[in-house]
Chains A and B, each alone.
Chain A
Amino acid sequence: MRLSKSSTSPFRLSLGAKLISYLILLFWTFIVLFPLYWLLVTSFKLPIDVSQGPKYVPTVDFQPSLHAWIDMLNPSDSANIFWRPYFTTIGVGVISAVLSLVIGAGAAYALTRFEYRPKPALIFIFFLCGVGAALMIALGVPWLVAVAVGVVVYFLLAQGIGWRFKGTMNNSDIAFWLISQRILPPVTVIIPIYILFQQLGMLDTPQALIISYCATNLPIVIWFMRDYFQTIPIELEESAFIDGASRFQVFHRIVLPLAVPGLVATFLIVLVFSWNEYTMALFLSGSRTQTMPLLVSAQNATRGPQWWNISVLVLLMVTPLIFMAVLLERYIAKGLLIGAVKG
């Protein structure tokens, strides 16, 4: 980055080319900013200002009104629809992003530093036991008993017949398997997840959303962080081991601080995904855990879309993200690039 910025940049320009470049860039800036500007002016419009045709400039074309902002933001209004979904979205988004980052970074680190030789057959047996336990729960067995039975049966089978299976997977198989989960469209898995949470009595709880988002975001975290950890030199860890540090201390004190740029970029991407997620929220959340995308889409009322409310909501929703994107734009590019180079 430093190179291309300095005068040694290979992409030098004549004055004419510079002018054309700026014209195109300004044109695109208009394409990006004009819809956002339209959101902003619409948020100050009364219904009549929207329906009467395009009005562009507040105070010139129409008298700006704060009615939509007051409707949304007034905390003393008992019918206020905004704050609860807003905090739900922030909570669910941040917690699920942090959770998937913690879990995924651990897995990514493990996949670059340890050697695994799991047997697919054992995984299959484990999975069958899991399904069995889930079925028992569905049939009314207390979940603690069901899980215990599942675990016991798994260990019996693993000890009893596990040695018969010879086929093993290696680290890149595991990584590929985990990352390929990103292909799954949410609609493909959402009905069973819905039934699962229904059986567990967890529909319309923040936990259900957090866990689901965590599952959909884990592949991305593993993808990016695995490549990132591979770029961190291992000598530092080795010297810490010689000094008697444990694996967890090394991970926590040495590896994670070095991986901060990657972690920040991944966090932002994952946060944007769960912040804006719509499909799973549509199924899993109800009135208590309505998220912002659902609230926005709910403004499409029987009287037609409430454009002023939609504008306010979208602006409020996007402000924290824009703020973070501006602050951390460099990290985003870098984190995405590292993920993309390795593929």
Chain B
Amino acid sequence: METLERDVPLSKTASERQIRKQVRGSRHDNTARFVFLLPTVLIILFLSIFPLVSSLLLSLTRVNFVRGGLDIKFIGLANYEKLLLGSGQRHFIGSLQAPSLFGGLCWLVVSGLMIFWFMRYVQSTGRSITGAFFHLLATILTIGMFWIVVATLGEKGVPGTFVVTLIFVFVGVFFQYIIGLGLALLLVQDLPGRRFFRVIFLLPMTITPVGIGFLFRMMTNTSVGPFAPIWVGLGLRDFSWAETGSGARTAVLIGDIWQWIPFMFIVLLAALEGVAHEQVEAARVDGANRLQLFQHIIVPQIAPVSMTVILIRLIEAFKIIDMPRLLTGGGPGTATESMALHAYNEWRSPNLGGSAALSYLLLFVVTFVAIMFVNIVRQRIGEHL
């Protein structure tokens, strides 16, 4: 088994060729073909695709609970309109105000980069009409979404659940990756007791997010929590995380980051252990220092794994609901209410159509971010390595 992971890259093409050969030789086992795949396809069809389509239909309706069933009325795009432009806008998007200077500058930089990206595609050789259309759409959407972020995070702006979710996702995944990578780099070293640390560092991942929500509510309590003496010493005895929006968000983020660092850590550690040792040795003999070694040998080799773990975490992080629900209850106001939690609250209110519309917007945002990540970041990384 130890040899397995080192053999993987070498034998892959060979085994794929053989698989193809085998495939050709096995057209006759027809029963097996379907018995193996059919259950999966059926389950996915009925529990993912069917709900997905029904949810879309539901998001176009207003549902009332009446005696003996549901009264469903088709109302077109009114649910979406309400969330994006109407009375739900403040809750979902937030209150748009003039951004701070720093925010505005960031927005300009991002817009410039996106336009540059689009222009480069238009001038490239492999362009097509549909491609240009999708690139333009992506550019406009990114610029627009980023405007919402900077405009609601300005001094007077109030972020809605959309912006809150983006903060949770991007800030959370960023810190998870950085700290996870740092710990993995430390533990790939030849230190006695590595196995002990590896197991310990894994633990937070196994705790239910609900429990972590409560746990960090205790941890961040400034009067009876374990760090109360420190808070008192700092003169913050009456300070409460839950009273300010950014404080409450920080508390949720700390819990989320604490829980998911292990995931990044363990995969990156395995990737680092697979880094080709000959190259590292050779570079070292040539007199490369630690930083050069990291930059030119290690980073290129762990980049593909890094991209995949970040993508997985991005996708999963958008689903965040339990941590804010238990830690802060989404408050104060809507300062820590994620889109998933917002959809759940709508469902409870009960507003099934609005909830479905909201969850569809969430799906749209996740898919958009995932596609943009794969197309821009991965491509870029692939080009440079």
Residues of A participating in the B interface, judged by any CB pair closer than 8 Å: 1-5, 7-13, 18, 21-22, 24-25, 28-29, 31-36, 38-39, 42, 50-54, 56, 103-104, 106-107, 109-116, 126-127, 130-131, 134, 174, 178, 181-193, 195-196, 211-212, 214-215, 218, 222, 230-235, 237-238, 246-248, 251, 261, 272, 275-276, 278-279, 282-283, 292-293, 296-297, 299-300, 305, 307, 310, 313-314, 317-318, 321-322, 325-326, 329, 332-334, 336-341, 343
Q: How far is the CB of A41 from chain B (nearest CB, A)?
A: 9
Using an 8 Å CB-CB cutoff, how does the interface string of B8-45 with A read, 1 for contact, 0 for none? 10011001101100111011010011011101110111
Chain A's closest residue to B190 (CB) is A9
For residue B128, CB closer than 8 A to chain A, the reply is no
Q: How far is the CB of B52 from chain A (nearest CB, A)?
A: 6
A131: chain B residues within 8 A (beta carbon): 50, 53
A104: chain B residues within 8 A (beta carbon): 40
Contacts known (A110-B37, A187-B343, A189-B55); A54 close to B45, Cβ less than 8 A: no
Chain B's closest residue to A231 (CB) is B8
Please report which residues of chain B, range 174-231, place their CB below 8 angstroms from some CB of chain A when the two chains form the complex.
Answer: 183, 186-191, 194-195, 197-211, 214-219, 223-229
Please provide the 10 A-B residue pairs with the shortest distance between their CB atoms, ordered closest to farther.
Answer: A110-B36, A215-B47, A10-B280, A314-B211, A189-B51, A192-B51, A192-B54, A107-B40, A247-B32, A276-B208
Q: In the bound complex, do residue B226 and residue A38 qualify as a contact, i.e. CB atoms below 8 Å apart?
A: yes
For residue B309, CB closer than 8 A to chain A, the reply is yes
Count residues of B near A (Cβ-Cβ below 8 Å).
Answer: 120
Q: In the bound complex, do residue B44 and residue A293 qualify as a contact, i.e. CB atoms below 8 Å apart?
A: no
Chain A's closest residue to B360 (CB) is A188
Quick one: which of B47, B208, B269, B275 has the most chain A CB within 10 A? B208
Contacts known (A38-B226, A54-B229, A183-B363); A107 close to B39, Cβ less than 8 A: yes
For residue B122, CB closer than 8 A to chain A, the reply is no
Q: Which residue of A29, A191, A310, A341 contacts B305 across the interface (Cβ within 8 Å)?
A: A341
Q: In the bound complex, do residue A35 and residue B216 qualify as a contact, i.e. CB atoms below 8 Å apart?
A: yes
28 A–B contact pairs at CB < 8 A? Answer: A4-B273, A5-B190, A9-B189, A25-B183, A29-B201, A32-B201, A53-B224, A54-B226, A54-B229, A111-B37, A114-B37, A186-B319, A187-B358, A188-B52, A189-B48, A192-B50, A238-B22, A248-B32, A276-B210, A279-B319, A305-B217, A313-B211, A317-B207, A318-B211, A329-B199, A336-B263, A336-B270, A337-B274
Q: In the bound complex, do residue B33 and residue A114 qualify as a contact, i.e. CB atoms below 8 Å apart?
A: yes
Taking A187-B355, A188-B362, A189-B47 as known contacts, 18 extra A-B pairs with beta carbons closer than 8 A to each other, sorted by chain A number, are A3-B277, A4-B277, A7-B190, A21-B191, A28-B197, A54-B229, A106-B40, A116-B37, A183-B366, A184-B363, A189-B52, A189-B55, A192-B58, A214-B43, A215-B43, A234-B22, A325-B203, A338-B8
Q: In the bound complex, do residue B258 and residue A278 qualify as a contact, i.e. CB atoms below 8 Å apart?
A: no
For residue B236, CB closer than 8 A to chain A, the reply is no
Contacts known (A4-B188, A110-B33, A293-B322); A130 close to B50, Cβ less than 8 A: yes
Q: Which residue of A2, A325, A339 contacts B2 across the interface (Cβ within 8 Å)?
A: A2
Using an 8 Å CB-CB cutoff, how does the interface string of B100-143 with A read, 1 for contact, 0 for none? 00000000000000000000000000000000000000000000
For residue B340, CB closer than 8 A to chain A, the reply is yes
Q: How far is the CB of A264 from chain B (nearest CB, A)?
A: 11
Q: In the bound complex, do residue B215 and residue A39 qualify as a contact, i.e. CB atoms below 8 Å apart?
A: yes
Q: How far is the CB of B207 from chain A (nearest CB, A)?
A: 5
Contacts known (A11-B188, A32-B201); A193 close to B207, Cβ less than 8 A: no
Please report which residues of chain B, range 290-315, place their CB below 8 angstroms from some CB of chain A when the two chains form the complex.
Answer: 304-305, 307-309, 311-312, 315
A214: chain B residues within 8 A (beta carbon): 43
Q: In the bound complex, do residue B190 and residue A11 qualify as a contact, i.e. CB atoms below 8 Å apart?
A: yes
Report how far A157 CA is from B269 CA in the complex, Å. 52
Q: In the bound complex, do residue B267 and residue A18 qualify as a contact, i.e. CB atoms below 8 Å apart?
A: no
Contacts known (A183-B366, A234-B18, A321-B206); A103 close to B43, Cβ less than 8 A: yes
Report how far A282 CA is from B340 CA in the complex, Å. 13
Q: In the bound complex, do residue B1 and residue A106 qualify as a contact, i.e. CB atoms below 8 Å apart?
A: no
Q: In the bound complex, do residue A106 and residue B190 qualify as a contact, i.e. CB atoms below 8 Å apart?
A: no
Report how far A12 CA is from B290 CA in the complex, Å. 11
Report how far A131 CA is from B52 CA in the complex, Å. 12
B200: chain A residues within 8 A (beta carbon): 29, 32-33
Q: How far is the CB of A230 from chain B (nearest CB, A)?
A: 6
B366: chain A residues within 8 A (beta carbon): 183, 185
B190: chain A residues within 8 A (beta carbon): 4-5, 7, 9, 11-13
Chain B's closest residue to A4 (CB) is B273
Report how far A9 CA is from B309 CA in the complex, Å. 25
Q: Which residue of A13, A218, A314 contacts B215 across the interface (Cβ within 8 Å)?
A: A314
